[in-house]
Amino acid sequence: MFNWWKRYSLLFTILLFLFISLFLLSRYGHYKGEAIFLEKTLRFLAYPLQKNVQRLVTWVKEIGESYFFLIGVQEENKILRREISELRQENARLQEIIFAEERLKKLYALHPKSGIIAQIIGRDPSSWFKSLLVDKGQLAGVKKDMVAIGAGGVVGRVIDVSAQTAKILLITDPNSAVDVLIQRSRTQGILEGNVEDYCVLKYVPKAEDIQVGDTVLTSGIGGIFPKGLMIGTVRRVDKKRTGIFQHVEVSPAVDFAKLEELLIIHGEP
pLDDT the model gives residue 13 = 62
Tell me the per-residue pLDDT of 71-98, one tens digit each, with 9 for 90 and over. Answer: 777 777 777 777 777 777 777 677 766 6
Asked whether residue 146 falls in the same domain as residue 265, the answer is yes
pLDDT the model gives residue 96 = 66
Which domain CATH number covers 130?
A: 2.40.10.340
Lowest mean pLDDT of 8-17, 53-62, 164-173, 223-232, name the range: 8-17
pLDDT the model gives residue 32 = 47
Give yes or no for a contact between 233 and 132, defined as CB atoms under 8 angstroms apart: no
Asked whether residue 176 falls in the same domain as residue 121, the answer is yes
Asked whether residue 204 falls in the same domain as residue 154, the answer is yes
Q: Which of 237, 256, 149 is nearest to 196 (CA)?
A: 256
Q: Provide the residue range defining the domain that includes 58.
A: 1-110
Whether the per-residue pLDDT at 101 is higher than 50: the answer is yes
Asked whether residue 118 falls in the same domain as residue 220, the answer is yes
Spatial neighbors of 146 by CB under 8 A, at least 6 apart, are 157, 158, 264, 265, 266, 267
Asked whether residue 89 falls in the same domain as residue 138, the answer is no
Q: Rounded to whole angstroms, how far apart are CA atoms 197 and 148?
A: 18
DSSP per position, 51-70: HHHHHHHHHHHHHHHHHHHH
Q: What is the mean pLDDT of residues 31-35?
A: 47
Asked whether residue 87 falls in the same domain as residue 121, the answer is no
Lowest mean pLDDT of 26-40, 51-65, 99-113, 254-268, name the range: 26-40
pLDDT the model gives residue 266 = 77
Asked whether residue 126 falls in the same domain as residue 227, the answer is yes
Q: Rounded to whole angstroms, how far apart are CA atoms 258 and 123?
A: 12
Spatial neighbors of 128 by CB under 8 A, at least 6 apart, are 174, 195
Asked whether residue 233 falls in the same domain as residue 144, the answer is yes
pLDDT averaged over every residue in the chain: 78
Q: Rounded to whole angstroms, how far apart are CA atoms 104 and 84?
A: 30
Query: Which residue among 49, 78, 110 closes a domain?
Result: 110
Q: What is the mean pLDDT of residues 203-229?
A: 91
Whether the per-residue pLDDT at 27 is higher than 90: the answer is no
Tell me the per-residue pLDDT of 152-180, one tens digit each, with 9 for 90 and over. Answer: 889 999 999 999 999 999 999 999 999 99
pTM exceeds cut of 0.85:
no
pLDDT the model gives residue 217 = 94
Asked whether residue 144 falls in the same domain as residue 118, the answer is yes
pLDDT the model gives residue 97 = 66
What three-state secondary structure class fits 234?
A: strand
Whether the per-residue pLDDT at 204 is higher than 80: the answer is yes
Query: Which residue among 81, 110, 139 closes a domain?
Result: 110
Query: Which residue among 110, 127, 152 closes a domain?
Result: 110
Report how many domains make up the chain. Answer: 2
pLDDT the model gives residue 107 = 67
Asked whether residue 13 falls in the same domain as residue 106, the answer is yes
Asked whether residue 55 falls in the same domain as residue 152, the answer is no
Asked whether residue 87 falls in the same domain as residue 166, the answer is no
Question: How far does the chain reach from its first CA to its final CA, in angstroms?
Answer: 115
pLDDT the model gives residue 61 = 67
